[in-house]
Every structure is written in C-alpha cells, then in structure tokens.
A and B are shown apart, each in its own frame.
Chain A
Amino acid sequence: MLEFPRWKNILVIVMLLFSVLYALPNLFPQDPAVQIIANRGHLVDAAFKERVQGALEKQKVQFKSIEQVRDELLVRLPNPDIQLKAADVLRTELGDDYTAALNLATTVPGWLKAIGGNPMQLGLDLRGGVHFLMEVDEAAVLDKRMSAFVDDIRSTIRSNSIRGAEVNRTAAGINVHVANAADAAKLGGVIANDIPQLDMKTSADGTTLTGTLKPVELKNINDGAIEQNIGTLRNRINQLGVAEPIIQRQGASRIVVELPGVQDTAQAKKVLGATATLEYRANVDGNAAEAAATGAVPPDAKLYFMHEMGPDGKPVPVLLSKKVIVSGDQLDSAASSTDSQSGTPAVEVTLNNIGARRMEDFTTDNVGRKMGVVYIERTPETKIVDGKEVRTVHITEDVINDATIQGVFGKRFQTTGLASLKEASDLALLLRAGALAAPVDIVEQRVIGPSLGQDNIDAGKRAIIIGFLSVCVLMIFYYRLFGVISVLSLFANLLLLTAVLSLINATMTMPGIAGIVLTLGMAIDGNVLIIERIREELRNGNTPVASIKAGYERAWTVILDSNVAKLIAGVALLAFGSGPVKGFAVVLLIGVLTSMFTSVTVSRAMATIVYGGGKKIRKVSVGGGF
C-alpha cells in the first residue's frame, strides 16, 4: 500500500496555503500615484488634503483617491500620463514646503498587508528610471587623511617642543626627520599613542621616523567614506522627491543609485554628480579688494569670493589662510535653529573629536578675528586626450560664511547673525552637503524609458505563460496522469517561488524573470527523473505500488546531487554578481530549493492521494504503455 506520513501531508498543505497567501499580493494591480511628504516645519493634515484636492480640481486633473498614510499624502491616479501631470501641478502648488514624488501605490487589501503580504518590487528595467553607478575616489580620500596626519604630527612636534624636526608627505606615507635620536624616540612614542592608525618605523640611525597607514585603517577609511557618501546621497535624493530610491554599496568603492520614475538625468545629476567639501579657514589681514584687483595676494593667503554677490552686484573678495582649520569630514552635523539669546536665525554645528580639538586650539588664540567657511564643489569630467580617456575635475570654491569668532569653542558652536531662516537652512544644507568627505564620480549611467519597462513586463509575462504551458503540454502528453501530477507540482513551485521572493522583498528585474522561466524548465527535471525511474521499475516487473515507492526513493539521491551542483553555480553567481546578475542568481537559488520540495514532496503527496488509500492498483498512468 502506498503511504505518506501524515506530517508530510500537513507540511505540504501548510506550504501550499503559505504560497497562495504570499503570492497573492502580486495579482493586485498597482496604481500610479503621487506621494506628498512634508518638509521640515510643515504638516500633512485634513486642511492640507483639501488644499491638494482643490489644486488638482482647479487644473482638472482626474484622480482616483487622496488618502493620508501616517505623515504622507497619497494621491492615486488612473494612468501614468495623468500621474506626471498631477506631479507637475502639485509641485508648482506646494513649492519647497512639500516634496511630491512619483510612486506606485499597491492596492493590496489591509489584512493581507498586515500579515506581511507585499508584491514584489519592480526593478528599474521594468518600471523605467535612471541608474547611476558612482565611484568614490579612494586616492583622494587617502590623500586627505594623510595630509591631516601630517598636520597632527606637526602640532605634536610643536606641543612637545622638539627642535629641528621636519615632516614630509611621501608617496609611501609620512617621513619625519628629527635632529637627535632621543627626541625621535620620544616623538615616536607620542605619535604611536596619539595616532594609532599609523605604523611607525625608526631608521637605523634613529633619527628618521616613517609612518605608513595600517592596512586595517585603509579599509576603515574607505568604508567610512562610502558610508558617509551613502548617507549624504540619501539626504540629497530625498530633496529630489523620488519614491523608493535604491542607494546601495557595491563592492569596495562603488555606490549604486537607482531612481525609479526619473527620466531627466541632468536634473538628477545636479544633485548627485556635484560633490562638495567644506573647509574652515582663518581670515588673513590685508586688503582683499586690492588683492583681487592687482593679484598681489599675501604669501600665506589665498583669494576667495563670497557665495553671495555684494550689494553692488559684484563678487566680494575674501582673503583666507592657506591652512585648513577643520574640514568637512570632521563635521558631524549642521542644523538650522534660532539663537536662544538674540532670537535670530542660526546654524548649529557639531564637530567630531579631532575637529573639536583643532577648532579649540585655533579659537583660543583668535577670539575677535574672523573665520571663513569655504564650500568646494567638485564636478567630475571625462576628457579625451591623445585618444585616451582622462578624468579631470572641475572645481569651484565659494566662501559661504565669514563670521567673527566670539569666544573659544570646540565641539559645538553656532553661527549667528544670519539674515533669515531660509539663509540659515540653506547654510545648514550646504554644510551638511560639504560633510561628504570623499569625492564621488559617476562611472555608469543608464536611462530606461517608462514604456520600455511596460514592454518588458508584458514580454516577461508572455514568456512565463508560454514556457509554462508548453512544458505542461509536453509532460501530460508524454507521462499522462503522472505528467499532470508533475505539472501541478510545477505550478506549486511557481507559487512557492513567487511567495518566497515577495516575502524577502526581492526586486524583480528582467534577468529575474528569465531566472523564473529557466527554473520552471529545470525544476521539471526532478519529476522526469522520478517518473522515468517508476517506468523502469515497472519494466523490471515490479508491482505498481512498489514501483512508485522505489521511483521516489531511488531518484532522490540523484536529485539531491544534481541540485547541489546547481546551488554551487547559483552561489558563485550571487557572490560575483553585480545588479542584474544578482537578481538572476537569487531566483535561481531559491528556485532550486523550492523545486526540490515540490518535485519530491508535493508530487509524492499527490501520487499518494491518487494511488494510495488501500486501493487496488493494476495500472500506473505514466505513459509508455504501462
């Protein structure tokens, strides 16, 4: 008699229910929508909802509904064209107080969402948008950090009153030459203590110290630069008003930015492509206007211009020291606020520990003098010189603030006396943007049109349906009832795969769809192996029940072996994969696992239902004349 343990039957039923439930959200269509998010200091409430409704009605924009979801307002629209129009209307109406982003809103009912049922996200190739790959300039990051160490060592030398010491930045690291060995040893000890990031070595005669960056620190610095960039990019992209942007690290030094719904790369790049840094520098005595006119700049100074034009509409020159007090990467945060004493708009700045110490050192000696903030914007450019690609950088430097130091401060300080709240928030924004320590360049860019996305979705659906149906026809035609069982278990596999992918929030891309189709083809292998084995057992003269049993049991080892091989290939794909390949690999991996379950366990449960239960079986319907 054909039997199947009860717990396995229960497992199959539970798994099937699970698959149906979590695959279900993918059947609900998504509405084109505009998502409205309030910027700082603004509210989304009933009155605001009416305002939005009014604006849309005034411009005769049809909409399906307007609903408030927590702090956001979601306007559902009938089609993507109207969605674009609505976004334009709302952006004009709401100005900078709110951000209106294009989005796709699910129509999945609340109870399904409550148990975690969500549709698969669509990748850029399926919904249109812009893809950027950005690279952090590691050499620049390293250079900057090493220069900071050189400065630190110089100040250590000064504070320890060591005479005749000379510090140089070399290609390999930092060279410190000290007049006598005793001082060198002392200095080496202090540096090792103060700057643990450096590996210090002493030369044979004991007078030269060489410092190189520890490999671990190199990695830390790069990781830090990437993290900081991702954070800043996220902030900047929020300004762009893109719903569900993807900002991910890729490999050691790259960041992937995907902006669904965006078609204008230039606009996106204005925000992304230009990277900024900040430098606090001391003012240098001298007549800036004269220096600007004659070009005679004092030797320790550099001529800058203010960001804002003067009252006469001409740029205002400023003379700042060549030495940097604090740079953007030492700035932890900057936020606009109001000064508690004067009630005027202000910007509150917090520095990290290194920055704090340096700021304190500087302000101690310089109360009453002025200090400027230079905002440096780097725009990467690619030029062709002699047929070779050369990457250069276009740099603009502006002084965004030049204020008098009112007292000694370190970690936290305020810039006050700003004309308006807007000026304060602009300055804070620039400061934050400048905190981006590492320069990034765009090394890859793709634009996917919205219609191409829809074409891809349709093509993918068609390929899945046709592929699935043709496998069904082949299997049923050749293997009869067992063919039907295989096809049903294949369908269970499709459901289970969809459910798992939806549950882990996988992003569906075109290669992902290809992975699903391929998985369907390969998953049938398990069933074919089993049925062929059953046929063989029958051919050898075994009873139907014994043949079915043996078919499932003896096919198992080969199914396991061959699937492990596929898993190994899948894992390698996943490990190596960038973007599109990764999506394919994820589907392939999960598909192998789900297909092992469905082709063996689910199909056996079905076979037991058909041939089990104590019935007397004379024939097994596996085709081939049995």
Chain B
Amino acid sequence: MEFFNPNSNVNFMGIRRYTVSISVILMLVSIFSLATRGLNFGLDFTGGSEVEATFAQPTEQRDVVVALEKAGFKGAMVQRFDTKNFSIRLRPSEGGESAKQQAGNESGVDARNNAITARVQKALDDSGHPAKLKPSVFVGPQVGKELATNGIVAVIVVLSGIMIYIAIRFEWRFAAATVLTEIHDVIITLGFFSVTGIEFDLTVLAAVLAVDGYSVNDTIVVFDRVRELFRSARKDGPLEILNRAVNNTLSRTIMTSLATMLTVVALFFFGGPTLHGFSLALIVGIIIGTLSSIFFACPMLHIFGVSKQDLMPKVRDEAELARRP
C-alpha cells in the first residue's frame, strides 16, 4: 500500500509564502514568549530543593498548592505522581530563617533540608493534610548556572559543526538553509516549552539537542535529493526542482517520522514520569522538524538563490585548468 501517491506533485513551493509566514509567526511568538515568560527551568538549572510527600489520604494538587502558599512558600511547584504521592519543588531562597537557626553542627545541606522539610510539614499539617515527607534533591544554584551556559555552548557547537559539514559536502547555501531550519526547529520547540510552562530540565535540554540532530537528518535527505535533481535535470527551473525533491522524499519523510514518533510516544506513555518532559520535547521537536523539512527548508534554499551551476562539480576542473600553462 501507499500512504502517498508516488507521482504526487503537491505544489509545496507554490504555497511557500504562506508556509514561511506561518513559520516566521511561530518563531516570533516563540521568541516573544522566551523573552517575556522565559522557560520554567527545573531544579537542575535553578538550584533548590525537592521534597517527596506521601499523604495519608488522597489529596488534590490544588489543596497542596494552597497550603504551601498560605505558609509563605513562593513559587513552590507541586507535581502529582498519584493520588497520595506528590513532589514539592522549592526555590533556593526558601527555608532561610529556620535554616539559620537549625544550622548548628550539622552539614549545611542537611540542615537546610531538615529546616525546609519541617516548614513544609507544618504547612501541610496546619492545612489538615498530614503527610510523610522525605527530602530527595538538593541542587546548589551555582551548578545550574554552569549547566545553562554549557547548554548554550553545546547548541552553538552543534549548529556550527553541522554547518561546516554541509558546506563541505554540499554548498554554503545548503549549509545556511539547514542551519536556519535547525534554528527554526529549536526556537519553536523551546517556544512550546515557554508558552506551556512545562518544566525545562536537563533531560529536556538533551532532547532539544537530539531534535537538532534529527531535524538536520530530515533536511539533509531533502537537500540530497535537491542536489541529485539539479545535477540530472536539464530544463526545469529551481522552483520545479525544489518542489520535486520534496515530493519525491515525502513518503520517506512521513515514514521515518512516523516510526520515530511511535517510539517516542511509547516513551511518553510508558517510560514513567522521569521521561515525560524529555519525550514531550522529542514529540514536539519531531513534528516541527518534519514540517520544517517539508515546508521551510526548501523555501529557504530558494531565497538563498541556489542554482544548477552551484552544484555542478566544476571547482576542481577550474583549478586544474588554472594550473595548466
């Protein structure tokens, strides 16, 4: 069977003004959201503490949030595992006063954890939802800052590494279009996390970097076909060739995305709560990456003005000619 007519000739390039506009709008929305709302960074990046709470009775998330707010915890994040088990995340500034009093001879981390646990315990007890608490994570703020910087560096390294490789294997216009497509994918994925306010932790960052690699993969497959068609086609103009390349690779694009999507969806539903953010980032990234390789990459290539001459293996001949007397 076929999902797509092999001789399909959807005029993707014909609607490029619309598709690129949508991409640009999505990117602007993402950038705007990233600039104003930012990302809801996880403990990995901000530092702070996490306390695991097991309630005696099934409890609503709202009640826990209200109880904590009442006790003066600012920006506490409450995550629900099941009806009785919750994780409570606290910013590093929390638990200050009592931590000072209780510091004593104990190790600093423990003192803080104990102080915070005691305060949370009191807040929950007062609200009529007694719970058993266990401090589970403490991350110093300086660790997070470094991670964030390293993450940005890693993204830049990936972008430039891939750009150089494609410039060598293809041509600079292809490299530029690929990198633009990548930036597009990464920004919109980040934008998704910014708009929805879903926690952005270390594993999500890893997923974003993986998405980066994946989206390049898709783009390269299309561009490889563009190169091939440019070299073999005689009379078609660049627009027709770009359009044919997208159509020819469409079946493959959809199949691979579908297969990858299936595994990632399996991760999302069956991989347990620790991988939720991670698999969500992959799901979003794969959708964006697939769409961008169909609707965004080739228009970019067109804007850069790729032509048949750019892809003919001529450089060597000219160099050869120049060397001859």
A565 pairs with B162, CB closer than 8 A: yes
A201 to B201: give the CA distance in the assembly, Å.
48
From known contacts A382-B109, A470-B262, infer whether A564 and B224 are also in contact, taking CB-CB under 8 Å.
no
Chain A, 552-588, CB within 8 A of any chain B CB: 557-558, 561-566, 568-573, 575-578, 580-581, 584-585, 588
B196 contacts the other chain (Cβ, under 8 Å)? no
Q: Which of A76-84, A173-181, A458-466 faces chain B? A: A458-466
B202 pairs with A578, CB closer than 8 A: yes
Q: Which of A40-48, A301-309, A357-365, A442-450 faces chain B? A: A442-450
B108 pairs with A522, CB closer than 8 A: no
Total number of B residues with any Cβ neighbor in A under 8 Å: 81
B165 pairs with A569, CB closer than 8 A: no
- Chain A nearest CB from B45 CB (Å) reads 12
Residue interface mask B1-19, A partner, CB < 8 A = 1 = 1110010000000000000
B307 contacts the other chain (Cβ, under 8 Å)? no
A530 to B279: give the CA distance in the assembly, Å.
27
Q: Which of B26-34, B264-272, B316-324 faces chain A? A: B264-272
Q: Which A residues are CB-close (under 8 A) to B142?
A: 135, 443
Q: Which B residues are CB-close (under 8 A) to A459?
A: 270-272, 275
A514 pairs with B270, CB closer than 8 A: no
Of A520, A580, A624, A625, which is within 8 A of B202 by CB?
A: A580
Chain A residue with Cβ nearest B260: A521
Q: By DSSP majority rule, is chain A's interface helix, strand, loop, or mixed?
A: helix
Chain A residue with Cβ nearest B93: A387
A445 to B166: give the CA distance in the assembly, Å.
42
Chain A residue with Cβ nearest B142: A443
Q: Which B residues are CB-close (under 8 A) to A536?
A: 6, 248
Chain A residue with Cβ nearest B151: A576
A470 to B266: give the CA distance in the assembly, Å.
9
A297 to B6: give the CA distance in the assembly, Å.
95
A449 to B166: give the CA distance in the assembly, Å.
46
Q: Which B residues are CB-close (under 8 A) to A522?
A: 214, 217, 256, 260
Q: Which of B119-127, B131-139, B297-305 faces chain A? A: B131-139
B197 contacts the other chain (Cβ, under 8 Å)? no
- Chain B nearest CB from A555 CB (Å) reads 9
26 contacts between A and B (CB under 8 A): A382-B99, A384-B95, A443-B139, A456-B272, A459-B271, A471-B259, A477-B1, A510-B275, A511-B275, A514-B278, A518-B263, A518-B264, A521-B259, A557-B224, A561-B224, A565-B165, A565-B166, A569-B210, A572-B209, A576-B157, A581-B202, A581-B206, A584-B203, A585-B206, A624-B1, A624-B2
Given contacts A381-B103, A514-B203, A514-B278, list 11 more A-B pairs with CB under 8 A: A382-B99, A384-B100, A460-B272, A463-B267, A470-B263, A475-B259, A478-B3, A511-B278, A522-B256, A562-B216, A580-B203
Binding site for B on A (CB under 8 A): 125, 133, 135, 251, 265-266, 269-270, 273-274, 379-385, 387, 389, 391-392, 394, 441-449, 455-456, 459-460, 462-463, 466-468, 470-471, 474-475, 477-478, 510-511, 513-514, 517-518, 520-522, 524-525, 528-529, 532, 535-536, 539, 557-558, 561-566, 568-573, 575-578, 580-581, 584-585, 588, 623-625
